[in-house]
Amino acid sequence: MLVVAATQNAHKIKELAEITKDFGMELISRSEAGAADFDIEEDGATFEENSLKKARAVMECCGMAAIADDSGLVTDALGGAPGVLSARFAGVLGEGADAANNKKLLALLAKTPDAERTGRFVSVVTAVFPDGRVIAARGECEGRIGRTERGDGGFGYDPLFTPLGYEKTFAELPAAEKNKISHRAKALAALRERLSDSV
């Protein structure tokens, strides 16, 4: 069965493809499905809403099953921010967004004691099918927010986030290790189980 990845992020497409291939799904990009030329406004109040909106929009455009991911960083000291606004927290899109977002987060947490710099990465992955089925899974990775950026790997808030039980940030961990414990890995593993039960 062909499934369209609602994201245009090549890294996310690769991760999704690895999970879904074991139960007879072949993931293709939006451009391959002829659905690359439109934007989907991520205006939902939750990761679940945004993930569903993206998957449904691509499914309706292509008439094929679609999978979407919505993810971000939730910090306890900031009441859950940046949350669903993680990618555009500082109001910058595209090149420079990661640096601007990290700078804003560090500024807002500057007076927060280390013990209160807790949070989690959250990922919600949703699969929407033309027959009306909707299957969603959520994954979370608990950790703490550092005071300086560390590491050259990963993207987004990875240089600031140290998962519980580790001394290294996501950006310092080897990609293979990060991908075993990350929020997205957990969401995809849960989705895999639910898809296996429904296919």
Catalytic residues: 70
Gap between the Cα atoms of 149 and 172, Å rounded: 10
What backbone torsions phi and psi does residue 62 show, to the nearest 5 degrees? -95, -25
Residue 66 bridge partners (DSSP): 4, 128
Gap between the Cα atoms of 6 and 54, Å rounded: 6
Count CA atoms within 13 Å of residue 17 on its CB side: 13
Q: In angstroms, what is the C-alpha Rg of the chain? A: 17
Gap between the Cα atoms of 147 and 162, Å rounded: 11
